[in-house]
């Protein structure tokens, strides 16, 4: 009896320790999961990307100088294409299949000031749609290298 009791006690102690260990693993796993979340996830996924694109469209529509670049554009196609690019660039489950950035913007006469303004509008749209600061900066950092492509054929 004494032996059985001792065995039971030590078994339940082992179980307790094992579950504490598993609990720690789970917690660590969650923390790591957060660390390894894609930018797409940190932004808020497809719903947030679509909200950001729509928010950006309103800002562009309110700016006479910027909206004039879109005079001959199909805005629905532009919105869908930009959303797929933002999803792709942020490691989401999309593949951007539109034209490369130099050809998409060729001979529009885009100026540095207008380029910066569009980037500002995109950031403001992300702020308004609740994208956290680090994710916003990450996204802008991934788009920044596209400057030279967008401007290459102006
Ligand atoms: C990093 C900055 C930019 C990115 C990532 C970007 C991205 C895009 C994308 C993905 C498209 C759709 C291409 C397609 O499917 O045909 C597009 C089209 C367009 N972009 Fe940008 N763009 C940027 C900057 C700008 C700026 C600064 C302007 C003007 C001031 C601009 C004006 C346009 C216009 C007018 C179109 C539509 C072209 C068409 O109708 O075919 N973009 N852009």
The protein residue whose alpha carbon is closest to atom 37 in ligand 1 is 73
- Whether the pLDDT of residue 1 is over 50: the answer is no
Given this model, what pLDDT does residue 25 score? 35
19/52 same-domain check:
no
Domain with 22 in it = 1-36
74/123 same-domain check:
yes
State the CATH number of the domain containing residue 126: 1.10.490.10
Read off the pTM: 0.83
CA angle 84, 89, 93 (to 5 degrees): 60
- Which ipTM value was assigned to this complex? 0.97
- Whether the pLDDT of residue 3 is over 70: the answer is no
Given this model, what pLDDT does residue 77 score? 98
127/92 same-domain check:
yes
Task: Using most ligand atoms within 8 A of CB, pick from 104, 120, 125 the residue to mutate for ligand 1.
Answer: 104
95/143 same-domain check:
yes
- Whether the pLDDT of residue 6 is over 60: the answer is no
71/132 same-domain check:
yes
The predicted-structure confidence for 108-120, as pLDDT tens digits, reads as follows 999 999 999 999 9
Task: Using most ligand atoms within 8 A of CB, pick from 146, 150, 152, 153 the residue to mutate for ligand 1.
Answer: 150
How many domains does the chain divide into? 2
CA–CA dist 124, 130 (Å, integer)? 10
> What is the mean predicted confidence (pLDDT) over 123-140?
98
32/81 same-domain check:
no
49/12 same-domain check:
no
CA of 130 to the centre of ligand 1 (A): 23
Residue 124, classified by CB atoms within 10 Å of its CB into exposed (0-12), middle (13-18) or buried (19+), is middle
Model confidence at 36, pLDDT cuts 50, 70, 90, reads confident
94/138 same-domain check:
yes
Per-chain mean pLDDT for the chain? 85
> What is the mean predicted confidence (pLDDT) over 22-35?
47
């Amino acid at each position: 009896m004494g032996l059985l009791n001792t065995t039971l006690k030590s078994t339940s102690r082992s179980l307790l320790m094992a579950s504490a260990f598993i609990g720690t693993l789970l917690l660590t796993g969650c923390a790591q999961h957060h660390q390894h979340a894609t930018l797409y996830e940190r932004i808020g996924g497809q719903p947030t990307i679509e909200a950001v694109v729509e928010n950006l469209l309103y800002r562009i529509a309110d700016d006479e100088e910027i909206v004039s670049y879109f005079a001959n554009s199909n805005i629905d196609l532009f919105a869908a294409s930009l959303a797929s690019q933002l999803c792709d660039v942020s490691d989401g489950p999309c593949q951007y299949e539109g034209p490369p950035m130099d050809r998409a913007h060729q001979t529009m006469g885009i100026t540095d000031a207008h380029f910066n303004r569009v980037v500002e509008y995109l950031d403001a749209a992300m702020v308004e749609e609740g994208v956290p600061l680090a994710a916003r900066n990450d996204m802008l950092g991934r788009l920044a290298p596209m400057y030279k492509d967008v401007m290459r054929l102006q």
